[in-house]
Structure 1
Amino acid sequence: MDQKKEIKKTNDQIINSFSTELQTKVKTSISIIEEAVARYGYEGLSLSYNGGKDCLIILDLIHSIATGILPTNLTNPEKLKEIVLFYLRDEDDFEEIDEFVNTSLRSYDFRNYTKFATNSLKQGLIYILKEYPKLQGIFLGTRTADLKGRKQPIFAPTNGDWPESIRISPIMEWNYSDIWDYLLTKKVSYCELYDQGYTSLGLKSQTKQNPLLKQKNGEFLPAWVLSQKSSERDGRILSLSNSSTSTQIH
């Protein structure tokens, strides 16, 4: 069997390991990433990576496309490893998140990575666009569940006094179950806090373990056990109504 056929066989095996519904969503996400490259080029793309489960999915998708693990129509997909990753770090972040970001970036071996001391996505965009003026599209882990009924296109221009850029949401239509189906089926390493009953990670002062996962003995089940998808954010102490200005939705 020649190399191309062997790669296709491996690609098919990975895709087919997902449920039929998740297969469709993965393929849609790949198409969105391909469209982003067509629109802005490799040098015009960035990923806001904070170590949470949602942006971790995007990081893994991009890496899997770049390394031939997932199928793609891109020419030179390995150049996806050159996109800029940036981490908006707050002093109130969980130490486990900070450690996981560093560990995962070493594991995935992306070439361009920078860190800014801010919790504001708006301020982070100001920083990153100043440092990398060619950037146009920013991959974000935004999902429909984060929007609280608001409509936002997959490719969404910033507005108002925000820095001019395009927010790209490859997993917009994924739900909570999809996230965990992907991570567990593909055996993707994730932050240890999710195994301790946290289903949504924000600042330490605004986040607690999801009460629905608490057992009679006081211990908590892992995040992926949660069956009520609408209760994903039940461990978040403050409202997420201003989530568009914050990086802290994981």
Structure 2
Amino acid sequence: MSCPFRGRIIYALMEGTHINGVAKAGAKAQIPGQPRRTLPEICYELRTKIEGFLLEDTSDHVLRNVQSQIEVSMGVIEEALRRYGPDHVSLSYNGGKDCLVLLILILACLPTWDTPSASSEPSDAGASSAPCHPQMSPPASEATVPLSAVHSDRPLQSIYIVSPHPFAEVEDFVEQSAREYHLDLRRYALPMRPALEAYLKDRPAVEAIFLGTRRTDPHGELLTHFNPTDAGWPQFMRIHPVIDWHYVEIWAFIRHLQIPFCELYNRGFTSLGGVTDTRPNPALAVGGDVPKFRPAYELRDDDEERLGRDS
């Protein structure tokens, strides 16, 4: 892929203190003296990273699975952009690992999104199942649109539904990552249904929302890539590009691409809720007088992911 900014892209996002090769949430967002990166620069950097990863010839079966998952998920994201266009989609973002992976994949899709053809596609808000989405091969350079087609003044719309008792570390990471990735983030300290009602009132053009739901999440077992909301809920299309990713694949993606994540994950938290209903995962506990926990990415079993959650 040809990228006019390749020579001056900063590949270490939020460069600073690192734990196990990945920056903590409190690290600096950019190198002092460097201008803040534009959204197009960030999108092309992420696109380049992911294309490079897809071309890797790896013997690691988890990484091979991640490569396959990326192709499917980016196909779903590109289908959503064709259906609705970027002005009518949003991202549900709470700083957690799953929606972080989804955010990175969405941003990586923007450099190859063709504005005229995408905006001409009719909206299909009544669809009830996954669309036909092609398996995506790393795109050739001629398939990409010019850098100017990804507008720095068009941030990705997003909604943050705040826990009743949020972790300070989560709040800090959401704020920092939203600023780093140029999110148009609206924050609602409300239960989910009234939060969505308020968001759609504030953003009436939104027709579809990307969600980081996975198959092992509560109520995730029957979802497809595209599902309209249930009766009695605010009406929009729910889009689930990472629905079939496994826990180890989420972490393999984050760590292999060196994506900064919330520091609570380094303390044994594997699923982030609020301070009253979330604790380090007991499956990661290390023996000793003082409780210690291994980092979240050392957990291997999907079924153990929510052992630290009361809800």
Compute the TM-score of the two structures, normalised by the length of structure 1: 0.84
Determine the structure 1 residue equivalent to 2:51: 12
* 1:191-210 correspondence runs (5 A): 191-210=262-281
Higher-Rg structure is 2
Q: 1:113 corresponds to which letter in structure 2?
A: L
1:48 pairs, out of 71, 79, 92, with: 92
Report the AA paired with residue 229 of structure 2. Answer: T
Listed as ranges, the gaps of 5+ residues in structure 1 are 239-250
Is the 1:34–1:74 contact (alpha carbons within 8 Å) kept by the matching residues of 2?
A: no
Q: How far did 1:165 drift?
A: 0.4
Q: Give, as a single letter, the amino acid of the residue that structure 2 aligns with 1:63.
A: L
Query: 1:109 maps to what in 2?
Result: 182
1:83 aligned to 2:156? Answer: yes
Aligned to 1:31: 75
Q: Percent identity?
A: 34
Taking the aligned partners of 1:3 and 1:204, their CA distance within structure 2 comes to: 43
User: TM-score normalized by structure 2?
Assistant: 0.69
Q: 1:149 to 1:160 in 2, by over 3 A?
A: closer
CA offset digits 1:200-250 (Å, max 9, x no partner): 111211111111111112211000011222100011123xxxxxxxxxxxx
SS at match of 2:244: coil
Aligned residue pair count = 234
User: Contact 2:53/2:67 (CA < 8 Å) preserved in 1?
Assistant: no
Question: What amino acid is aligned across from residue 185 of structure 2 in structure 1?
Answer: Y
Asked if the contact 1:15–1:23 (Cα under 8 Å) also holds between the matched residues in 2, the reply is: yes
Quick one: which amino acid aligns to residue 222 of structure 2? Answer: K
Q: Retained in 2: the 8 A contact 1:42–1:82?
A: no
Q: Which runs of 5+ in 2 are unaligned?
A: 7-43, 113-136
Letter in 2 for 1:33: I
**2:252 aligned with 1:213, yes or no?**
no
Q: What is the deviation of 1:147?
A: 4.0
Letter in 2 for 1:140: L
SS of the aligned residue for 2:224 comes to coil
- 1:27: how far off? 1.1
Cα-Cα RMSD = 2.7
The answer for the alignment partner of 2:222 in structure 1 is: 151
Q: Secondary structure at the match of 1:204?
A: coil
Match for 1:121: what amino acid?
Answer: M
**Bigger Cα displacement from structure 2, 20-29 vs 80-89:** 80-89
Mean Cα displacement is larger for which, 12-21 or 42-51?
A: 12-21
